Structure 1
């Protein structure tokens, strides 16, 4: 047992060190540093000065040049009004922005805090993922492979709240598996981490409601909805259509407050075609296809009433599909937690298949179907 925990801790430590030592320093860092300074009261020219001054101290000259090069990035850099107009896309990540501000009290610049937070939460995510694997019937030795395949090293390096969202998502799932109460708290606070993760809040609470915890499930879901509305209102969120048009239609506009919403149906179809194209070449697709194949192959034997089936397959799969339908982005970092859970479910099914096959061969009665009804409890 000690060796199992050693694997979990070692894998988490590697992710932590990798994230801190090899940060991506992606452009989102600019927006989140600006959001932190905006919360400090800076506006206009002062906001631009503090934001880019902080970043310039924390990155190389070559990286800084990349952060301010290109029509969109250069405009945001040179026009304080443009920088402020980006913030409604980023300020709703309230928990992440406030943690950035908090870490300054520990001696970290806002720039460094953006990726140190990601590294910490990616590492914590690995710890929780390891605990989930211990609840499954697969070897913990597979943990480093799952972590590498599904993108934990990527979210550890980014200046985004994705690692934080991943951690709390896994924590909610683990609590669901263990029948704990923490899942209600997680479902409630997910919108302050990423507003789009209210989808997960709903899925978690639908299951607990059906399990009999009706009052607290409804209360948690309504609280999450109230927090979602409050966050979007207080942070000046532009709304779904503006976000969709800004992200997918035409080139990035340095002045999103002035975006004209497209009324061309084709403009809304193309992003889904591009997402499909990206899916065909991404490692997550292997995970999804394998899981669907195993489910279809053993659909009559899978016990759909089991909590693990919901937690490791249905919930993450529905979350991923719904998120892609609503927001067809090829940023697969949104789905690190869900793809890793689905992969664990697939490995569990394969382990059960092998176990039944070996048992059948041993008694000399091997025949199709591979599994008796309800043999696959997962």
Structure 2
């Protein structure tokens, strides 16, 4: 028992310290700091001044600040206040993350610092929940640091994004499902407040609970998630799916997304999927997915024995990843840290199960031979 707690604490603490001490300071920091200041009432040139003034204090080394302000897109956003404001509808829907950034300022952190400290905290908490999930399986808890390292928890701990928070609540929802708890209904309802695209997971979680018999509360949670999704996007002035797709993949990083012309060329929409496939092949997550699919194909009947683990650790995470990639073919695999880690754990559990079955069969064979 002491060893288990040591693994939990050591791995979670390592992720927390790493995230705080080695922040990535990615460009999203600019957008989320600006979104927080916009909530404070800043607009136009004042918003730009406050945002970049704080970023400059945080990123004291000149080369780092230059990376956030050079290049046609970033330079335009830096110099033109209207361009900065036009970026915010992509980021403002992350309501919980932005409000936590504002809360942490009252605790003594700057907005810029809060963006990655929050990520480090939630990445660390995600490790704890992942450990609890592993403890529900036949997999040794000693494997926790390996799963964490290979599936990218260190990355989401460094970033100024809500991905670590989304990872935590996703794992919490899955853990609640495994334990047959009621927390999953709350998690499903609020996921769109953390990342609007995670309404996909809300739907998958509630489909599972609906099929398990909790029909009314499942429908209520799903409808709540849908209402939150619509409200958040409307209040944030979200540009819509096609604009987001074109901005990200077809007409990349137009500094004035309000003016994007939507492409009508089919080929423009296919190229991003080719890029995603190329990136996925060389990413560690590809190995996780490939091994899991192979185990499922090879031993489909055997691995369905524990249906809760089968659906919670394999089917739901896999369908989420596949659906997300189909709708938004981004090669930012930080979106899938939680799902890849769960699938990894499921694969390890299946391997352990198959080994146990082989040992049992061997013992029965030896006993049968001795009787004869």
Q: Same fold by TM (over 0.5)?
A: yes
Q: Is residue 264 of structure 2 the alignment partner of residue 263 of structure 1? A: yes
Cα contact 2:318–2:343 (8 A) shared by 1: yes
Deviation at 1:304, TM superposition (A): 6.2
Unaligned 5+ segments in structure 2 are: 368-372
- Residue 301 of structure 2 aligns to a residue whose secondary structure is coil
The SS at the match of 1:301 is helix
Greater helix share, structure number: 2
Give the Cα separation in 2 of the matches to 1:364 and 1:22. 55
Following TM superposition, where does structure 1 have runs of at least 4 consecutive aligned residues deviating by more than 4 angstroms?
A: none
Q: Name the count of aligned residue pairs.
A: 366
1:157: Cα distance to partner? 0.1
SS in 1 for 2:300: coil
CA distance in 1, matches of 2:65, 2:8: 36
Paired residue for 1:91? 92
Equivalent runs, 1:1-378 vs 2, <5 Å: 1-59=1-59, 60-303=61-304, 306-364=307-365
Q: TM-score, normalised by structure 2?
A: 0.97
Q: Is 1:34–1:51's contact at 8 Å kept on the other side of the alignment?
A: yes
Taking the aligned partners of 2:366 and 2:337, their CA distance within structure 1 comes to 41
Describe the superposition over 1:138-170 as per-residue Cα deviations: whole angstroms up to 9, x where unpaired: 100000000000000000000000000000000
In the TM superposition, residue 176 of structure 1 has moved relative to its aligned partner by 0.3
Please give the alpha-carbon distance, in whole angstroms, between the structure 1 residues aligned to 2:5 and 2:326: 38
CA change 1:154–1:246 in 2 (3 A) is same
Residue 264 to residue 353, structure 1, CA distance change in 2 (3 Å):
same
Asked whether the 8 Å contact 2:137–2:349 carries over to 1, the reply is: yes
State the shift of 1:365 in Å: 5.8
How far apart are residue 364 of structure 1 and its match?
A: 3.1
**TM-score with structure 1 setting the length:** 0.96
> 1: distance between equivalents of 2:11 and 2:173?
21
8 Å CA contact retained: 1:183, 1:204? yes
1:39-82 residue CA offsets vs partner (Å, 9 max, x unmatched): 00000000000000000000122100110010000000000000
Q: In 2, distance between residues paired with 1:267 and 1:87?
A: 25
- Displacement after TM superposition at 1:305 (Å): 6.5
Quick one: distance in 2 between partners of 1:211 and 1:328? 32
Q: Secondary structure at the match of 1:159?
A: coil
Task: Report how far residue 354 of structure 1 moved.
Answer: 1.0
TM-fit CA distance, 1:9: 1.1
After the TM superposition, which of the residue ranges 1-10 and 346-355 deviates more from structure 2?
1-10
2:29 and 2:160 in contact (8 A); partners too: yes
How much is the aligned-residue C-alpha RMSD, in angstroms? Answer: 1.0
Q: Cα–Cα, structure 1 residues 253 and 304, in superposed 2: closer, same or farther, change >3 Å? A: farther
Alpha-carbon distance between aligned partners in 2 of 1:71 and 1:300, rounded to the nearest angstrom = 55
For residues 236 and 251 of structure 1, the distance between their equivalents in structure 2, rounded to whole angstroms, comes to 20
SS at 1:363 equivalent: helix
| Equivalent-residue separation in structure 2 for 1:359 and 1:319 (angstroms) | 35
Give distance in 2, aligned partners of 1:311 and 1:297: 20
Q: Distance in 1 between matches of 2:173 and 2:138?
A: 20
User: How far apart are the structure 1 equivalents of 2:115 and 2:49?
Assistant: 18
Per-residue CA distance 1:208-234 (angstroms, 9 max, x = gap)? 001110010000000000000000000
Gaps of 5+ in 1: 367-378
Deviations 1:73-123 (A, max 9, x none): 000000000000000000000000110000000010000000000000000
Q: 1:302: how far off?
A: 2.7
SS at match of 2:88: helix
In structure 1, the residue corresponding to 2:302 is in which secondary structure? coil
Please give the secondary structure, in 1, of the residue aligned with 2:331: coil
